[in-house]
Structure 1
Amino acid sequence: MAADQYQNDDERIQDKLKQKTWNEIRTNDSWAIFKIMSEFVNGYEAMGRIGPCVSIFGSARTKPEDKYYLLAEKIAYKISKAGYGVITGGGPGIMEAGNKGAHFGGGTSVGLNIELPFEQHFNPYIDRDKNLNFDYFFVRKVMFVKYSQGFVVMPGGFGTLDEMFEAITLIQTKKIAKFPIILVGREFWTGLLDWIQSVIIDQFKNASPEDMNLFKIVDTEDEVVEALDNFYKKYNLSPNF
């Protein structure tokens, strides 16, 4: 059964639990592999032409008058002026602010959108030829990570936390290079970071103390640009754009 044919969660659960025939496996599960492959191929081809950028993560629910929307717009504008391209999830809220700042900063503005039943729609500030759409979250996340030179994480919900911890985990396990992860907004992030330090690290020993150095927390757009520039100066690199 296709995802858009489910009427409710009960139907979705029942479909997952039932024993499938070999024909159903071949026509549904096996052929899904080709859809996944096509998303990877299209994503690689499109992003390979664009080149690496800085990803900005944050809530789709943030309103244009919110201080973090305005801050994300300023950050993206300054990032663009410094020569970096910007990738967002392509939707409203913080994502729109990121694309808007990049657009008015004259930089590359990329949107990696996802089909969702609510919240998500393309914002109008993405470059016309850099507007990609995905059905699968995991394919989309690969594009974020593979083509990002840094990660700016604004306040957000479960999706933002998922993207942030994905980047941290890949760096911690040395699956990707140690690109900067910059958390913006001490008032938002301090409680979570205190819990990570006191519970995950100090009490349960489920992470190492040095893992707290995998990310940096800031409050202003100038601090974000400084962190990115310091990283590139350290490795004698330059932005791609």
Structure 2
Amino acid sequence: MRKKTKHKWHELPWQHPKPKSEDPKAERLVRELMESPTYRLAEEDREFLQSHETRGVRLELDYMKAELIMTELDVQHTIVVFGSARIKERKTALATFKEVEKKLVADSDNVKLLAQLREAERMVEMSTYYDDARKFGRLVGNSGTGPEDNRVILMTGGGPGIMEAANRGAYDVGAKSIGLNINLPHEQYPNPYISPELCFQFHYFAIRKLHFMLRAQALVAYPGGFGTLDELFEILTLVQTRKTPEIPVVLVGKRYWERIVNFEILAEEGMISPDDLEIFTMVENADEAWRHIIGWHTDRRTHLYRVYTEGEKPQHGKV
């Protein structure tokens, strides 16, 4: 019987560069070719991938990475929380206030310090929203059956302030939560309470917005600035135009929202329909917000309601 021997591959002509013996310049010329950007694999060519012409590819990758991971981890529904990145927890806000107050004692006529003191005092008052957002995070976190139940999960923009507080609340009760960070020109960090496997960073605001809405079963907006208003009005517009299914939109902090946006004037002036005022509701705190969300879904017997009562596993929504 013939003994089998391991096949030995012979070398192919292109496995070695042209030898110096044939052309003294060959080695240098080949090295220059292999160092040329055009010789790099497309997937390894950073300059090519960041070119204007490949923006469509980058948009797709920006979307796909988070989508594949959330699908793999069985994230079905999200409760999205927006709010100011500037609002601090109470002990930090108080420390800042006392520091400015101390400086003002030594320089009582300093107009700049007086303005800083007023701002610091306001931040102490606003810190109540940090505590409330943290409580809301705990309410969402406790709604599942355990740390591995990702069917309904909290999602934030991943930054400090209100976002940190909501992620922190979920972290307090051992629940996972999502943070959708955005790449900015200046250095920035995700808050430490996001689940590591669900902490994402996006390049495009548009793709980040898409993921905010793709699985959203509720939006809760705490007091905030341009970013919060941007996300809020984006979702109000999507619901108003029927571009996305209606979801409960809850504004926490009636006094703040009534002062910042006069929605009734928009209706009186004919800029929106009176019915559009029903798209959102204003509440005072986390308990009211959570009751409204649960009641809204219970009344309509939605997918979210059936997940809790019947264990249904629906597909996520479309935007």
Q: Distance in 2 between matches of 1:54 and 1:239?
A: 14
Structure index of larger Rg: 2
AA of the residue aligned to 1:81? N
Structure 1 gap ranges (5+): 1-25
1:90 pairs with 2:113:
no
Q: Where does residue 228 of structure 1 map in the other structure?
A: 293
Matches within 5 A, 1:111-190: 111-118=179-186, 120-190=188-258
Q: Distance in 2 between matches of 1:50 and 1:156?
A: 27
Q: Where does residue 171 of structure 2 map in the other structure?
A: 103
| Deviation (angstroms), 1:46 | 2.1
1:75 pairs with 2:143:
no
Matches within 5 A, 1:191-206: 191-193=259-261, 195-198=262-265, 200-203=266-269, 205-206=270-271
- Of 28, 50, 53, 2:75 maps to 50
Q: Distance in 2 between matches of 1:74 and 1:132?
A: 23
The aligned length equals 215
Of residues 229-238 and 135-144 in structure 1, the stretch that sits farther from structure 2 once superposed is: 229-238
Identical pairs, percent: 35
Higher RCO (CA 8 Å, separation ≥ 6 residues): 1
Q: Where does residue 41 of structure 1 map in the other structure?
A: 64
| Deviation (angstroms), 1:40 | 1.1
After superposition, the CA RMSD in angstroms is 2.1
Please give the per-residue CA displacement for 1:143-202, whole angstroms capped at 9, x wherever unaligned.
000021100100001000000011111111111111100000012101234x2212x221
Q: 1:239 to 1:151 in 2, by over 3 A?
A: farther
TM-score by length of 2: 0.63
Secondary structure of residue in 2 paired with 1:44: helix
Please give the per-residue CA displacement for 1:39-65, whole angstroms capped at 9, x wherever unaligned.
111122123332221000011111111
| Deviation (angstroms), 1:118 | 4.5
Q: Distance in 1 between matches of 2:256 and 2:291?
A: 21
Answer whether contact 1:86 1:110 (CA < 8 A) is retained.
yes
Q: Distance in 2 between matches of 1:130 and 1:139?
A: 16
Structure 2 gap ranges (5+): 1-48, 91-126, 145-151, 312-319
Q: Where does residue 284 of structure 2 map in the other structure?
A: 219
AA of the residue aligned to 1:52? H
Answer whether contact 1:92 1:120 (CA < 8 A) is retained.
no
TM-score by length of 1: 0.83
AA of the residue aligned to 1:108? K
AA of the residue aligned to 1:190? E
Q: 1:120 to 1:231 in 2, by over 3 A?
A: farther
